[in-house]
Copies of this chain bind each other. A is one copy, B any other.
Amino acid sequence: MNTKVAIVGASGYAGEELLRILLKHPNVTITCITSRQNAGRQIGEFFPRFVEADLAFSTPDADDIAAKADIAFLALPHGLAAEYAEPLVNKGIKVIDISADFRLRDTNVYKQYYKNDHPAPALLHKAVYGLPELYRDQLKSAQLVACAGCYVTSVLLPMTAMLKAGIIETNGIEAISLSGITGAGRKVDLPYIYPECNESMRPYTVTGHRHLPEMEQELAVAAGVDEVKINFIPHLIPVNRGIHSTILAYAKPGVDDQAALDCLNQAYKNEPFIRILKKGQLADTKHVTMTNFCEIGCAYDKRTNRIIVSSVIDNLTKGASGQAVQIMNIICGYDETTGL
């Protein structure tokens, strides 16, 4: 079995991570990598790590992509992703979009947080939310996948399971997250040069981050309520890769850390990429970097009745490209862990 894939927008960090994974995937041939800025260059000129691969960047073109690939990964900025998703879906190519364009179901919310009208509202009903642990069945036959955001993945995996089980309250959830610098993308801007990040710890967009409505949307679905309101507070930390989310939630009566762990173990006992820690253990990003795992630990503060969740992923793997490949495996009927 072999799947031909295109990576549209292959010159950023999510694109690089797709290349790292897919170049070793036994069932995949990369037939097309695009980059407007680097069109014509051999991959090795831009990514010396992949110089042995016989690939060159081309200018992204929907016809060309459709002619070459069965599945297209979009590793593009939001807004731009939809421009390619639309013709590709229309041509029958399966699209796995790592951008944010098709994650929010409500176009008003999209406009509020992304400051533009939704670029392709007609496609929204086709989009399946790309978090396999929540939407595996729908993903199997999806033609358009909106991969979950990186921060969002680290928060939803533990919290949706607890909300579904009804062991925590829906109000009073707070997610405080830490991200490595690749989370900002391959962005050439003063705040991201080495001396400005190294030996620095700083929060940003502590109200109104774009991942906030995405978290709230899926938490509400899991809780079976119309609306969940949370705080989401991201920080930038001097590591290359990794997200740590500390999430606080009020325990329902009788619930403690062991109950929370039991709930997670029950929910995820068959999941290949979810690792539930033992009582007393907390997550560490270094346990999951360069893997597709989400590692989750729980504590309980009786004094304040707070369940404290510690959840880690690699922002580029389970938070982006690894998740996208996991979804591709589901769509293609490969073992879900192939190449991961």
Chain A contacts to B: CB under 8 angstroms: 13, 48-49, 51-52, 172, 174, 176, 178, 180-182, 186-190, 192-204, 206-207, 229-231, 233, 235, 237-242, 244, 246, 248, 275, 277, 281-291, 295, 299-301, 303-304, 306, 308, 310, 312
Please indicate the chain B residues that have their CB under 8 angstroms from the CB of A201 in the complex.
Answer: 178, 180, 237, 239, 242, 244, 284-285, 312
Q: 22 A-B pairs, CB-CB below 8 angstroms?
A: A48-B295, A49-B286, A176-B176, A178-B235, A181-B195, A182-B195, A187-B193, A194-B197, A199-B241, A199-B285, A200-B239, A200-B242, A200-B285, A201-B285, A201-B312, A202-B282, A202-B284, A203-B246, A206-B246, A206-B282, A206-B299, A207-B308
Residues of B within 8 A of A202 (CB): 244, 282-286, 310
Cα–Cα distance between A200 and B172 once the two chains are bound (Å): 28
Contacts of A198 in B (CB 8 A): 181, 194, 198, 238-240
Chain B nearest Cβ from A42, distance in angstroms: 11
- Complex Cα–Cα for A139 and B198 (A): 36
A308 touches B181 (CB 8 A): no
Closest-CB distance, A245 to chain B (whole angstroms)? 10
Closest chain-B Cβ to A182's Cβ sits at a distance in Å of 5
Evaluate contact between B186 and A188: CB separation under 8 angstroms.
no
Residues in B whose Cβ lies below 8 Å from that of A51: 275
Contact A206 B308 (CB under 8 A): yes
Residues of B within 8 A of A310 (CB): 202-203, 206
A239 contacts across to B, CB distance below 8 A:
198-201, 238
- Write out the residue numbers on chain B whose beta carbons fall within 8 Å of the beta carbon of A172: 172
Q: Is the Cβ of A194 less than 8 Å from the Cβ of B174?
A: no
- Residue from the list B189, B200, B203, B282 in contact with A203, Cβ < 8 A: B282
Q: Which residue of B lies closest to A282 (CB)?
A: B203
Q: Which residues of B contact A287 (CB under 8 A)?
A: 48-49
Q: Are B235 and A248 in contact (CB under 8 A)?
A: no
